[in-house]
Copies of this chain bind each other. A is one copy, B any other.
Amino acid sequence: MSDERRLTEQGRERKQQLLDRAAELFSERGYAATRIVDICEAAGVAKGLFYWYFENKEAVFRELVVSMRLRLRRAQGEAIDPLADPVTQIRQGTEASVRFMAEHASYFALLEVETRDRELARLLRTGSEVHQADTARLIRHAMAAGLIPCDEDPDLLALAVVGTVAHLANAHRHGRLTLPIDELASFAGRWVVRALAGHDRALIGR
């Protein structure tokens, strides 16, 4: 299909259906093990229709990755209180990330997908890089404000933060954790802040 295909209201809905089903199936079975027919059957349409909305299998994937990236960032932005101190903001961002990623597990599972395609790989990486850069910025603020020690590299710290978040959400998705999502999010926040600040009780909140 051409990029500029004009879609009617119905068309947009149908496309979204396909995207949703694809996200689910990709995350359940993996990219390679999900067939176009599976997606179409799940959406209740004929095989050929897929190609009315997407150029090919990889294109759906690409579209999912992009939209997911945007939504995560928005969720983080909404969770962060602009008036709070940077450490609190990090905690809020961390909690929001864990919550969002666990809730939209089917989307985020896609990130782990394998790919031979360089372009796609780049796209995937970009996502976490943005996340990491956002975090690094907050960490620098916190250092400048004297809230956390300055003896570690902010980028390295940010990498560890992002890593923890991703891993916890992932474990939750795979059912390795029975914990309610809110408790997991709050645990992640505490963990990250402790690791950043050196000692939570003394420095942060009560």
Q: Which of A's residues lie within 8 Å of B, judged by CB?
A: 29-33, 85, 87-88, 112-116, 125, 129, 147-148, 152-153, 156-157, 159-160, 162-164, 166-168, 170-171, 174, 176-177, 179, 184, 187-188, 190-206
* Cα distance, A97 to B113, chains bound together (Å): 23
Task: Identify the closest chain B residue to A152 (Cβ).
Answer: B187
* Cα distance, A31 to B30, chains bound together (Å): 10
Shortest distance between the CB of A134 and any CB in chain B (Å): 16
Task: Identify the closest chain B residue to A203 (Cβ).
Answer: B197
A116 touches B163 (CB 8 A): no
Q: Which chain B residues border A157 with CB–CB below 8 Å?
A: 191
With A32-B114, A159-B171, A168-B160 in contact, do A191 and B195 touch (Cβ < 8 Å)?
A: yes
Task: Tell me how many chains of this kind the complex includes.
Answer: 4
Q: Which chain B residues border A192 with CB–CB below 8 Å?
A: 195
A159 touches B174 (CB 8 A): no
Shortest distance between the CB of A92 and any CB in chain B (Å): 12
B160 touches A191 (CB 8 A): yes
A87 touches B166 (CB 8 A): no
Q: Specify which of B116, B167, B197 is in contact with A200 (CB 8 Å cutoff).
A: B197
A114 touches B115 (CB 8 A): no
Besides the contacts A32-B32, A88-B205, what 17 more A-B pairs have beta carbons closer than 8 Å? A29-B116, A30-B116, A33-B114, A87-B205, A88-B204, A112-B112, A129-B176, A152-B190, A156-B177, A157-B191, A163-B167, A163-B170, A163-B171, A190-B200, A194-B199, A194-B203, A195-B198
